[in-house]
């Protein structure tokens, strides 16, 4: 992906021929912005804080149902950020876009849906190195992406320092530091989501 700040169509036109895109047949999306940003998927390994973030974004407006044909539960809700309304999906934990478990298959299927147009990759600050490979896979797949580095409270306790600006430059996507349980970084994340729309 060359530039997350440019219009989405040009980002996709530069990335849609990569191997992950063809492997999973991600669709080239040419809808208007309002259609394009209809749903946001929270994605990441298990126990990184996706569901805590989901609750912070959606509040009480959430429903939980089994993904069709599976026993895997998926929570969906809505979030209102300023004048913008988005659907939010809490995807099951996944380690890779090449699925092994049923949860990973469901997570990948959810990400491939046409209506899902922004993925927020939630990672654990103290295990960043272990989690970034999935970030690269999501980027390779051509998904518009925000990296949410969660559990910064734990990282701070361990004196782990993370420079989000440097990561933004290297990955060319927005990077937000958060502590979801403490509500820290949520507002900044919301601003970055809306910036995508703009
Ligand atoms: N210290 C700390 N713990 C967190 C934070 N966010 C989530 N957790 C905890 O991490 C665990 C897993 O969170 P959860 O949202 O269920 O993770 P998920 O599997 O990715 O949905 C829970 O015990 C949360 O309370 C955070 O910012 N800081
Ligand atoms: Mg969860």
Q: Which ligand gives the minimal distance to the CA of 49?
A: 1
In a domain, 136, yes or no: yes
In a domain, 91, yes or no: no
> Which residue, chain included where needed, has tokens 């040419």?
30
Looking at the structure of the chain, the number of domains it has is 1
Q: Which ligand gives the minimal distance to the CA of 46?
A: 1
Segment 53-91, tens digit of pLDDT? 999 999 877 899 999 999 999 999 999 998 889 999 999
Could you list the residue range(s) of the whole structural domain that residue 159 is in? 1-17+32-66+120-198
Q: Which residues have beta carbons under 5 A from ligand 2 (an ion)?
A: 50-51
Distance between CA atoms of 100 and 137, rounded to whole angstroms? 15
Measured from CB, residues less than 6 Å from any atom of ligand 1 are: 44, 46-52, 93, 150-151, 153-154, 179-181
Segment 123-163, tens digit of pLDDT? 999 999 999 999 999 999 999 999 999 999 999 999 999 99
Q: How many CB atoms lie within 10 A of CB 49?
A: 21
For residue 146, the domain's CATH number is 3.40.50.300
In a domain, 111, yes or no: no
Task: Name the β-bridge partners of 184.
Answer: 179
In a domain, 193, yes or no: yes
Q: pTM for the complete prediction?
A: 0.85
Segment 165-186, tens digit of pLDDT? 999 999 999 999 999 999 999 9
In a domain, 72, yes or no: no
In a domain, 196, yes or no: yes
């Amino acid at each position: 992906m060359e530039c997350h700040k440019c219009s989405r169509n040009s980002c996709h036109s530069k990335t849609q021929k990569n191997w992950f895109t063809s492997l999973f047949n991600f669709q080239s999306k040419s809808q208007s912005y309002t259609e394009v940003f209809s749903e946001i998927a929270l994605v990441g390994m298990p126990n990184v804080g996706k569901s805590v973030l989901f609750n912070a974004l959606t509040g009480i407006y959430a429903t939980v149902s089994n993904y069709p044909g599976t026993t895997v539960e998926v929570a969906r809700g809505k979030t209102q950020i300023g004048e913008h309304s988005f659907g939010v999906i809490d995807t099951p934990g996944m380690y890779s876009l090449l699925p092994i478990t049923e949860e990973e298959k469901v997570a990948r299927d959810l990400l491939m849906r046409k209506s899902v147009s922004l993925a927020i990759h939630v990672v654990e600050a103290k295990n960043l190195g272990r989690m970034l490979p999935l970030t690269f896979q999501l980027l390779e797949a051509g998904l518009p992406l925000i990296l949410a580095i969660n559990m910064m409270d734990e990282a701070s306790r361990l004196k782990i320092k993370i420079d989000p600006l440097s990561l933004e430059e290297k990955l060319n996507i927005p990077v937000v530091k958060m502590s979801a349980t403490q509500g820290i970084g949520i507002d900044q994340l919301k601003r970055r989501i809306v910036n995508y729309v703009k």
